[in-house]
Amino acid sequence: MTAHEEAQAAATRAGVVIRHADSPEACRTATAIIDEIWPLDSGSLVDPNLLRALQHSGSYVALAEAEGEPVGVCLGFFSSPPDVHLHSHIAAVLPGSALRGVGYAMKLDQRAWALDRGVTAIEWTYDPLVRRNAWFNLRRLGGRVADYLVDFYGQMSDGRNRDFGSDRVLVHWDLTAPLPVSQPDGEPGGPVDEILEESSDGRPIVLGAPAADRSATVAVPADIEELRATEPDIARAWRPAVRETLGAAVMAGTHTIGVDDAGRYLLRHREDAG
């Protein structure tokens, strides 16, 4: 299948149509979705006029619609030479549609769009504490972890992220590679260290530092956003714990990073490291 055929098949399975936001009205709709997902005390995370300008100048701005109603938005813009890639800044689905494959359909449309323009990679960041995003990015799409960015945005002001730090993982998605037909990360094979686990009351327990010559696992909460709403002090404790374990391994370059069947990060020792 071509990239466009794969994108269309994913959209059909999700029951959506992906439309590029090529009008002021569509850009206002995209902003309304973003505002619903990331509410601010005042203003918008992304101005609709900015979206219109980005789209008109050649960036990717798209809406996912189900039965004529908008349910998702995706936004990407280009990096500068010599490392030309599309940076996917936002890919978001309204809560009622989050488990239908809408996000996957939007990413495959974005992939086909980028390949049409000779772009062979997309990069984006995500919060490493959000387990479902780690699974989606690394196992469903087949992206790889390229970097760990400490406090990338500084203090954030939206309702989801306020007061919880902004460490981010940078994902690199090779668009020339086949899409994963299964999720093979599974188990590491050989000895593995459990360096961060979750206690019975939901707190992080750091058990050690990542050894350069061994594989390891790093736990994250099943739903960090729910934990932030119900137990904010516990939720805040996860940021430094994940930075100390996962972040240290990524920044050292000693491991490749996946997600195991239990939803933990799987740090595989790289034979070529060091």
The per-residue pLDDT for 183 is 56
Instruction: Kindly report the average pLDDT of the chain as a whole number.
Output: 91
In sequence order, what are the residues at sequence separation of 6 or more whose Cβ sits closer than 8 angstroms to the Cβ of residue 12? none
Least confident among 30-44, 99-113, 124-138, 193-207? 30-44
Over residues 65-89, mean pLDDT:
90
DSSP, residue by residue, 1-12? --HHHHHHHHHH
Distance between CA atoms of residues 169 and 129, nearest Å: 10
Residue 225: both structure tokens together: 């956003």
The pLDDT of residue 80 is 80
- The structure's pTM equals 0.91
User: d(Cα 255, Cα 267) in Å, to the nearest integer?
Assistant: 6
Residue 230's alpha-carbon distances to 155, 220, 227, in angstroms, are 21, 16, 5
Q: Which of 255, 178, 244 is nearest to 216 (CA)?
A: 255
3-class DSSP state of 216: strand
Q: Which residue has the higher pLDDT, 51 or 189?
A: 51
Listing DSSP states for 34-61 in one string gives HHHHS--SSS-SS-HHHHHHHHHTT-EE
> What CA–CA distance (Å, rounded) separates 263 from 255?
17
How many angstroms separate the first and last alpha carbons of the chain?
Answer: 39
Query: Which residues are registered as beta bridge partners of 74?
Result: 62, 91
pLDDT tens digit sequence for 21-36: 999 999 999 999 999 9
List of domains in the chain: 3-174 (3.40.630.30), 192-269 (no CATH)
Average pLDDT rounded to a whole number, residues 243-269: 94
Mean pLDDT of 165-187: 84
Instruction: For helices 24-37 and 48-56, give the axis angle rounded to 10 degrees.
Output: 130
